[in-house]
Structure 1
Amino acid sequence: MIEIGLNTPGHNGRVALVTGAARGIGLGIAAWLICEGWQVVLSDLDRQRGAKAAKALGDNAWFITMDVADESQVSAGVSEVLGQFGRLDALVCNAAIANPHSQTLESLSLAQWNRVLAVNLNGPMLLAKHCAPYLRAHNGAIVNLTSTRARQSEPDTEAYAASKGGLVALTHALAISLGPEIRVNAVSPGWIDARDPSQRRAEPLSDADHAQHPTGRVGTVEDVAAMVAWLLSRQAAFVTGQEFVVDGGMTRKMIYT
């Protein structure tokens, strides 16, 4: 594993582990939490990009490589965080195989199906299992990043949809099992433009892309990060077992063609 950053906790002493944090939504969540004073441990399979991201975020960011589908790596990663900081207050399960489109059902292999579920569903379970003793000690919180695809689908998205639907169910199961010491909630993003700034400039979204949302725009990583940060905060102390949809109202809009 590779570590980037200093070994002193953030201004408020709280430590958060954010998985899948080398880019996109995970990186946005990590940056937001650091701005709020958290010490953030970023984890990702992409060692080079993750290390670069942590360095850019400054002294309150630290990076470890981790395959969340591998229990031995999860156990070792959590132990490393505890050895470095002595505590863990929050877990954000964002790591996922994010491409929802797979093979047609007839050509979808069991190996492909299992890999998606291993990362997207087994991963959060393993992380909760190994983080729970330390989160419990500080009345911590878990936020799972699910998807609006847990409740609606396009063709050929069986593995992804099943993994995210399962994660919604796992969220409320964990909330009941781990409460009252640990709160567990889910955030389900809709269309979030999580591309790098250079990509957004090169290929801007169309007016039609934005206009179809009741809010008048496609979502940003900051929209998701703000919700996650609130759920980890003391202001959400009475909130657990819930799914929060961050999609600009799209799943409430009736569309007939």
Structure 2
Amino acid sequence: MTDKTEKNTPAVVITGGGAGIGRGTALHFAGRGWKVAALDKDAKALAELLALLPKGRLLAIECDVGKEDPVRDAFESIADWTDGLDLLVNNAGIANPKSGPLEDLTLEAWQGWIDASLTSAFLCSRAAVAMLRKRAPAAIVNVTSSRALQSEPETYGYAAAKGGLFALTHAMAVTLGPDIRVNAVAPGWIETGPWQKEADRTDPDHSKRAKEQHLVGRIGRVEDIAEAIDWLAGEKSGFVTGQQLVVDGGMTRLMQYDA
């Protein structure tokens, strides 16, 4: 059992914390002196993350956050580790949005996208509420997607899960305030290759055309999302709740026509 956190040390739970945006966000908050609990199905990714942080800074829990019993067990461990939470980041999800043709999409595959993003956010938020209220004012930040606003072909389950997650965001904000503010970050094209576990790590070289699709002239970085989450969790956004912050370099504002 891990020693309980000092009451003045902020604590955050990050789902899908082993790789990608979750890993970057975990390192961001750990770098600010926070205690970080990272939940992920990938034990290898969690072990690599654990090795990157000072002893005692990270609580790594292997957990399928789309399932009720593992979530319950995980938050029991978290309750032994910290006296309350300042922030929950519901980041877990299936990275690949493509499902293939609608007529071939199985219910099992559909449910996989829904459970990974939407059901997991419900289960973890429900489990975390009492701990968040202990540290009020506290925050929940849900990681949705620009695909909650617009779609690519054959992304039915992913888009529905992320759109539903924003609806859950404002529904929770209405009920959980003023003790807990609830907001969402909607990433656009974020390059997560360098933030994967070693076996999956890549460092892509993006084309000029790919960069020009963004009004800021570049692909998004994991750090962009971590900073947005940090802002939504902090005092400077204290008058913001029930909102979705789109962080996409302006990509969803650029109308494109092929000549």
Structure 2 length as normaliser, TM-score? 0.93
Q: Shift in Å at residue 95 of structure 1? A: 0.7
Q: Counterpart of 2:82?
A: 85
Q: Count residues with an aligned counterpart.
A: 251
Q: Shift in Å at residue 103 of structure 1? A: 2.2
Q: Shift in Å at residue 52 of structure 1? A: 1.8
Q: Counterpart of 1:121?
A: 118
CA-based RMSD of the aligned residues comes to 1.6
Asked if 1 retains the 8 angstrom alpha-carbon contact of 2:39 and 2:65, the reply is: no
1:152-167 counterparts in 2 under 5 A?
A: 152-167=150-165
- Structure 1 segments of 4 or more deviating over 6 A? none
Q: 2:202 aligns with which of 182, 186, 199?
A: 199
Q: Counterpart of 2:26?
A: 30
Asked if 2 retains the 8 angstrom alpha-carbon contact of 1:146 and 1:167, the reply is: yes
Q: Secondary structure at the match of 1:106?
A: helix
Asked if 2 retains the 8 angstrom alpha-carbon contact of 1:136 and 1:182, the reply is: yes
Residue 173 (structure 2) pairs with residue 172 (structure 1): no
Q: Counterpart of 2:63?
A: 66
Residue 129 (structure 2) pairs with residue 132 (structure 1): yes
Q: Secondary structure at the match of 1:256?
A: coil
The whole-number CA distance in structure 2 between the counterparts of 1:10 and 1:25 is 27
Q: Counterpart of 2:242?
A: 241
Structure 1 length as normaliser, TM-score? 0.93
Asked if 1 retains the 8 angstrom alpha-carbon contact of 2:4 and 2:83, the reply is: no
* 1:34 partner letter: A
* 1:182 partner letter: I
Q: Shift in Å at residue 12 of structure 1? A: 5.0
Q: Could you tell me the percent identity over the aligned residues? A: 42
| Bigger Cα displacement from structure 2, 163-172 vs 58-67 | 58-67
- Unpaired stretches in structure 2, ≥5 consecutive residues: 196-200
* 1:76 partner letter: D
Question: For residues 10 and 49 of structure 1, do their structure 2 counterparts lie closer, same or farther at Cα, with a shift above 3 Å needed?
Answer: farther
Per-residue CA deviation, residues 200-242 of structure 1 (Å, 9 max, x unaligned), is: 1xx3111221122100100000000000011111222111100
- Unpaired stretches in structure 1, ≥5 consecutive residues: none
The whole-number CA distance in structure 2 between the counterparts of 1:208 and 1:94 is 29
